[in-house]
């Protein structure tokens, strides 16, 4: 977990490694940049904490992690803390208390900080007009955008853009090019290998270390390209019909690549295990990749990659000319719910906002693994069976971190 240092005498907070050297008695620490901002501190202009992924500690309670995922999905863009709490089965007061205890900020404050940080990166990295940046970052109006940026960064969006450095500017030959920050260690080749292993043909591909996939945003097709960028970021190139709400596209790409949660505690615990320890030591930057949509991974878990690809060809929209093996977008739950396919009941449930039911244990474990569960373990997966047998392992002792253990086992060769 990254710890942010705030200096009482200057009102500035920094990320680790910043060259500033304040007196220790003047320093406060925070586990998330949103907490530092809620306490009245502003981001350092030298180390620019908004460029670091503000991940949530993996030892945080599951309800906090679920709430964070929902916030990242945009539930507080127009909704309230009360509605978020009701969705999680707790009161808004209890949810705020848990956020304060574990993140140092309210759910609304967390969402506000995310939007502001994303907007600041877009002001640095792109040539999009300020108005487009506002709506791409999830703000409901230019007035709200300007007010928030002044509160968080003590400057207007136009002033912030004028301060950007020449090296910040990204050039793109088609599409919108954005940085996807992560905290070290992070092993993109391992994540890309896992995504290649689980890819649905026609929908996803990994070629020369770049992951590509088709997407649908508000009913319109697009394509994403995700690959290595620098020591602290991946590069995401988004080919989309419009930029409004692109913050949520980027957030889903972050979840897909596993950069949004740093498994520090899980990595530490598994490194002590006689079986998993050597695997963790060899690849400490392994993360648990997420999904673009839960429905897609539920179908893939239920019918396999070939079955999911067949459904995409028969019911998904074709997108010609993309190359890299990409041909279709994956059909929506409502589309497959109207078919006679074996996944129709699954599609109906998920179209209604329900969790998938009736999946066999291994399919359910795969679904849980990719959608954020810490302790999913598909024991019947051939790669896992082989690894456990070869290593004479006892998976029960890896609880509650078996999701990360599973990814290590799948990648061990």
Domain with residue 46: its CATH number is: 3.40.10.10
Same domain, yes or no, for 47 and 196? no
How sure is the predictor about 32, in pLDDT bands with cuts at 50, 70 and 90?
confident
Task: Flag whether pLDDT at 1 surpasses 60.
Answer: no
- Residue 268 belongs to domain spanning: 176-410
Structural tokens at position 68: 């964070």
Beta-bridge partners for 28: 6
CATH number at residue 326: 3.30.310.20
CB 56 within 8 A of CB 264: no
Task: Flag whether pLDDT at 392 surpasses 60.
Answer: yes
Helix extents (H) in 81-141: 81-88, 92-102, 107-125, 130-136
Does residue 306 fall inside a structural domain?
A: yes
Residues 138-158, mean pLDDT to the nearest whole number = 92
Does residue 126 fall inside a structural domain?
A: no
Does residue 142 fall inside a structural domain?
A: no
Same domain, yes or no, for 47 and 188? no
- Residue length, the chain? 413
Least confident of 162-171, 200-209, 211-220, 245-254: 162-171
What would the pLDDT profile of 213-269 be if each residue is shown by its tens digit? 999 988 888 899 999 999 999 999 998 877 888 999 999 999 999 998 889 999 999
Domain boundary among 51, 72, 87: 51
Return the pLDDT at 312: 96
Same domain, yes or no, for 47 and 180? no
68's CB contacts (< 8 A; 6+ apart) are 56, 110
The residue whose two tokens read 């890819």 is 199
Q: Pick 185 or 51 by higher pLDDT.
A: 185
Return the pLDDT at 165: 72
Give dist(CA 271, CA 285) in Å, integer. Answer: 12
Helix extents (H) in 287-358: 294-315, 333-337, 344-351
Q: Pick 21 or 388 by higher pLDDT.
A: 388
Does residue 159 fall inside a structural domain?
A: no
Alpha carbon 391 to chain centroid distance? 32
What would the pLDDT profile of 66-97 be if each residue is shown by its tens digit? 898 888 888 888 889 999 999 999 999 999 99
Task: Flag whether pLDDT at 14 surpasses 90.
Answer: no
How sure is the predictor about 61, in pLDDT bands with cuts at 50, 70 and 90?
confident
CB 99 within 8 A of CB 112: no
Does residue 200 fall inside a structural domain?
A: yes
Task: Flag whether pLDDT at 172 surpasses 60.
Answer: no
Does residue 360 fall inside a structural domain?
A: yes
Does residue 56 fall inside a structural domain?
A: no
Radius of gyration of the chain (CA): 21
Domain boundary among 32, 51, 70: 51
As to burial, measured by CB atoms within 10 angstroms (0-12 exposed, 13-18 middle, 19+ buried), residue 174 is: exposed
Does residue 236 fall inside a structural domain?
A: yes
Give dist(CA 153, CA 140) in Å, integer. Answer: 19
The DSSP letter of residue 55 is: P
| H/E run at residue 74 | none
Domains identified in the chain, total number: 2
Return the pLDDT at 166: 65
Catalytic positions: 14, 381
Single pTM value for the model: 0.82
């Amino acid at each position: 977990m990254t710890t942010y240092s705030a200096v009482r005498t200057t009102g500035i907070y920094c990320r680790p490694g910043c060259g500033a050297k304040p007196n220790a008695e003047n320093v406060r620490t925070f586990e998330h940049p949103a907490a530092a901002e809620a306490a009245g501190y502003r981001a350092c202009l030298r180390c620019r904490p908004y460029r670091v992924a503000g991940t949530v500690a993996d030892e945080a309670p599951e309800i906090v992690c679920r709430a964070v995922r929902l916030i990242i999905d945009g539930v507080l863009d127009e909704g309230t803390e009360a509605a978020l709490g009701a969705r999680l089965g707790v009161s808004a007061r209890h949810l705020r208390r848990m956020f304060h205890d574990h993140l140092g900020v309210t759910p609304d404050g967390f969402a506000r900080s995310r939007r502001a940080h994303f907007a600041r990166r877009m002001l640095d990295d792109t040539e999009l007009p300020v108005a487009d940046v506002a709506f791409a970052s999830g703000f409901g109006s230019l007035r709200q955008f300007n007010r928030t940026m002044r509160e968080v960064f003590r400057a207007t969006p136009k002033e912030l853009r004028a301060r950007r450095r020449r090296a910040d500017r990204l050039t793109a030959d088609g599409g919108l090019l954005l940085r996807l920050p992560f905290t070290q260690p992070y092993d993109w080749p391992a994540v890309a290998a896992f995504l290649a292993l689980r890819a649905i043909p026609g929908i996803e591909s990994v070629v020369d270390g770049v992951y590509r996939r088709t997407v649908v945003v508000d009913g319109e097709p697009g394509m994403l390209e995700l690959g290595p960028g620098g020591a602290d970021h991946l590069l995401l190139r988004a080919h989309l019909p419009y930029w409004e709400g692109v913050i949520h596209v980027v957030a889903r790409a972050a979840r897909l690549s596993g950069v949004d949660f740093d498994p520090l505690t899980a990595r530490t615990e598994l490194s002590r295990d006689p079986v998993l320890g050597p695997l963790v030591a060899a690849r400490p930057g392994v993360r648990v990749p997420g999904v673009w949509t839960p429905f897609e991974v539920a179908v893939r878990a239920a019918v396999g990659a070939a079955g999911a690809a067949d459904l995409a060809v028969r019911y998904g929209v074709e997108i010609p000319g993309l190359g890299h093996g990409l041909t279709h977008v994956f059909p929506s739950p409502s589309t497959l719910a109207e078919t006679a396919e074996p996944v129709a009941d699954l599609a109906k449930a998920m179209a209604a906002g329900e969790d998938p039911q009736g999946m066999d244990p291994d399919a359910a474990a795969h679904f849980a693994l990719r959608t954020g569960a810490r302790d999913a373990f598909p024991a019947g997966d051939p790669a896992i069976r082989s690894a456990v047998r070869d290593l004479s392992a006892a998976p029960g002792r890896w609880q509650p971190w078996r999701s990360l253990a599973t990814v290590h086992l799948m990648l061990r060769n």
